[in-house]
Chains A and B, each alone.
Chain A
């Protein structure tokens, strides 16, 4: 029995430990959600104050890259969910599914990098390189500032997620997980889905504003 299979000394049973870990993860995600809260509120402030300006700014985003990324991330959530289920019922393929999840996450980051690069070339990166003439200049600046802040934080969370998933993949290959012990996979899965769901909300707010009008 490896260390991971033991029950921590403060718990009576393995079930109690599993439930505590799971609840702890949910509470942590509630904190995470509130952490992003002010950025969403700032976004709604901007959108109500500069309706027109935010639409103009949204029109400058690279909607196809954003859409591709949405597809990538949704697919990664599928592979993650399959990995959780596979570890749950003790099927093989956990390692492969986790590696696939991490790869999709990396692909997302690569696309995001391309997008950032384009925005840098278009001088839409406040405050470092920002040029925008016309009456909506201020609104566009606020929009892109929030855009970089939110997507940057999202990318940071995703990077942490990729690290966790890769670590799980290594452990899965060692045969750590099975029907009796799979809490880390489950908890990382919850986190991964949270990062995914966050993006589901960001996608329309950032990319579809103008198209929707």
Chain B
């Protein structure tokens, strides 16, 4: 047992005395320094991100292709916008606007008018009105009746100069009030 212990101690001493043979101590030093730096640095390395994103700038053909594509995009954009602006300019010179086109009273214009009216603040609830033929006839008749009464009224006013003067005076006063408002 003692012999065994002696042998073990001898081997241990031999190992302790034999130092390792180091050929590249500089590499180990660098590696240690890098590892120490890495421990000190926290988060993502910006230069690595930039290298990852823009690594293509170091590859000649990729760099040239992407620059060419970007320039082509700019040229296409300038050309297209130029053509469109020119066409709009020609259009504004050639097209004639009709003030009282025969289609002006279509339902779309009424819709447009109603939209504008609503947008202008004069709000009213949108609704559909269904009128029967008899109701429409009634409306027509009352309209005609109103026209007849209006004519009668005109005749009465024309026949009475005092009344005419009074109404004219009232109308002028009314207009003034409107202007003041």
Question: Do these two chains interact?
Answer: no
Chain B residues close to A by CB (< 8 Å): none
Chain A residues with a Cβ under 8 A of chain B: none
